[in-house]
């Protein structure tokens, strides 16, 4: 198997399974060294809370007690979806290519937040229903046969297995070609909360109604229509949905940007990059990757809990603890870019904070030895 070629489902499984675990259990000595470094900082034990857990995790991902972060990239994987023609979104499908142009013109939320937080932006056309002019921040990663979007999953599989594999391989290539050691994952695709909800249902067994949310802002009638539409997609893909085979489920129900994101997550983890996960749709990709290789979760920092109903439950299912809760439901990587300063702060804290010894601060509490 060449580094980027995923010719068969077996190639994918073999490559995914070969990912080393990056957690404390796999690296007990490093975990202890990182914890000792955190504990000697001038603060009550554990007082920096999640920031400490973040520093520990980044150290474990990089395999060092002195982690560093450089050249963060937010990658906005964009695609269109056949199921969007069924009226499952509050916005028209034309918005996907229009927003791609907006990203490239630096007018979108993610573009502005990325610039504010020192994060470079890359936009990836995984199957948008348009052909774009070349742009230095745009990577064309279309898959032959579905260059303008996946098929309508209410009529059969959204993608063939071969198309899903090609999309995964293209996501790998995007990460491989990128600088830095942190990727922030985002997406854009009108209708893509539908494949994400379908994947949640198929991968977790959660009742469909608890997976389906308002997305870009459906009203109650729209939500009811979306639920009925997604039930038809489940019925049209019953065998794949119930197969327990992550690739088959992804191909049947997922979209092209989700598939490319699966490749990007796995490739980033293989390169020991920190993966910052955005909202509901990027979580769908991580969940597919985790179904192939559960150890991938050790490389993932979950930026925020989206207002999309279903996200909180899915994060809990994955054992993920999101950093932020800001009622965001935008996608694009907006939550990931907002969380980025916290990762930077965690690493700087670990590097630069004085220790009790270096600052001459007492560690012993007077109360500790006092009579009760």
Ligand X SMILES: Cc1cc2nc[nH]c2cc1C
Q: Which stretch binds ligand NCN (CB under 6 A): 107-115, 150-158, 261-269, 274-282?
A: 274-282
52 in catalytic set: no
Return the structure tokens found at 103: 């990203």
Q: Which stretch binds ligand NCN (CB under 6 A): 7-15, 60-68, 89-97, 126-134?
A: 89-97
Query: Smaller CB distance to ligand NCN: residue 48 or 262?
Result: 262
Q: HEC states along 74-127? A: EEEEEECEHHHHHCCCCCCCCHHHHHHHHHHCCCCHHHHHHHHCCCEEEEEEEE
Query: Smaller CB distance to ligand NCN: residue 65 or 73?
Result: 73
Query: Smaller CB distance to ligand X: residue 27 or 102?
Result: 102
Closest CA relative to residue 246, chosen from 283, 213, 289: 289
- Which residues have CB under 8 Å from 199's CB, separation 6+? 249, 250, 253, 254, 258, 284, 287, 288
End-to-end CA, the chain? 67
Rounded to a whole number of angstroms, the minimum distance from the CB of residue 224 to ligand NCN is 14
The count of residues in the chain is: 372
Q: Which stretch binds ligand X (CB under 6 A): 18-26, 91-99, 124-132, 296-304?
A: 91-99
Rounded to a whole number of angstroms, the minimum distance from the CB of residue 306 to ligand NCN is 3
Q: Which stretch binds ligand X (CB under 6 A): 22-30, 33-41, 312-320, 328-336?
A: 328-336
Q: Which of residues 309-328 bind ligand NCN (CB under 6 A)?
A: 311
Q: Which of residues 172-191 bind ligand NCN (CB under 6 A)?
A: 187-191
When asked if residue 263 is in the footprint of ligand NCN (CB under 6 A), the reply is no
Query: Smaller CB distance to ligand X: residue 150 or 216?
Result: 216
280 binds, among ligand X, ligand NCN, none (CB under 5 to 8 A by kind): ligand NCN
Rounded to a whole number of angstroms, the minimum distance from the CB of residue 103 to ligand X is 9
Return the structure tokens found at 71: 């050249």
- Which residues have CB under 8 Å from 154's CB, separation 6+? 83, 86, 229, 232, 233, 236
Q: Are 199 and 250 in contact (CB under 8 A)?
A: yes
Torsion of CA 140, 69, 266, 48, to 10 degrees: -130
When asked if residue 125 is in the footprint of ligand NCN (CB under 6 A), the reply is no
Q: Which of 52, 257, 308, 332 is flagged as catalytic?
A: 332
When asked if residue 99 is in the footprint of ligand X (CB under 6 A), the reply is yes
Taking each helix axis from N to C end, the angle separating 246-253 and 256-270, rounded to the nearest 10 degrees, works out to 140
Q: Are 316 and 338 in contact (CB under 8 A)?
A: no
User: Which backbone phi and psi does 154 adopt, to 5 degrees?
Assistant: -75, -10
Q: Which of residues 275-314 bind ligand NCN (CB under 6 A)?
A: 278-281, 306, 308, 311
Interface residues with ligand X (CB under 6 A)? Answer: 91, 95, 99, 188, 216, 330-332
Interface residues with ligand NCN (CB under 6 A)? Answer: 89-91, 187-194, 215-216, 278-281, 306, 308, 311, 329-332
Which positions are annotated as active-site residues?
332
């Amino acid at each position: 198997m060449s580094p980027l070629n995923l010719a068969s489902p077996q190639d994918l499984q073999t490559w995914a399974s070969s990912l080393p675990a990056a957690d404390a259990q796999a690296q007990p000595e490093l975990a202890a060294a990182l914890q000792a470094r955190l504990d000697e900082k001038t603060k009550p034990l554990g007082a920096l809370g999640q920031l400490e857990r973040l520093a520990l995790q980044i150290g474990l991902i990089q395999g060092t007690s002195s982690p560093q972060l450089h050249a963060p990239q937010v990658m906005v994987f964009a695609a269109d979806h056949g199921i969007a023609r069924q009226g499952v979104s509050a916005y028209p499908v034309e918005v996907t290519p229009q927003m791609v142009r907006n990203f490239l013109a630096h007018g979108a939320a993610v573009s502005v937040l990325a610039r504010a937080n020192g994060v470079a932006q890359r936009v990836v056309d995984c199957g948008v229903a348009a052909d774009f002019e070349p742009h230095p921040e745009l990577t064309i990663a279309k898959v032959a046969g579905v260059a303008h979007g996946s098929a309508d999953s209410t009529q059969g599989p959204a993608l063939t297995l071969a198309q899903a594999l090609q999309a995964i391989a293209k996501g790998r290539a995007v990460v491989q070609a990128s600088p830095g050691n942190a990727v922030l994952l985002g997406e854009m695709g009108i209708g893509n909360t539908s494949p994400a909800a379908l994947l949640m249902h198929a991968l977790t067994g959660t009742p469909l109604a608890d997976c389906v949310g308002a997305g870009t802002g459906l009203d109650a009638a729209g939500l009811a229509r979306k639920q009925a539409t997604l039930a038809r997609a489940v019925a049209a893909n019953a065998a794949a949905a119930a197969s327990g085979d992550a690739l088959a489920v992804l191909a049947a129900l997922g979209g092209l940007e989700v598939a490319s994101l699966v490749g990007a997550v796995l490739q980033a983890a293989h390169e020991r990059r920190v993966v910052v996960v955005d909202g509901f749709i990027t979580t769908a990709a991580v969940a597919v990757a985790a179904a192939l290789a559960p150890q991938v979760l050790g490389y993932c920092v979950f930026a925020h809990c989206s207002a999309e109903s279903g996200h909180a439950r899915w994060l809990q299912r994955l054992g993920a603890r999101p950093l932020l809760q800001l009622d965001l439901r935008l996608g694009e990587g907006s939550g990931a870019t907002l969380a980025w300063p916290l990762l930077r702060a965690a690493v700087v804290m670990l590097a630069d904070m004085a220790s009790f010894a270096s600052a001459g601060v007492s560690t012993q509490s007077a109360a500790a030895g006092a009579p009760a």
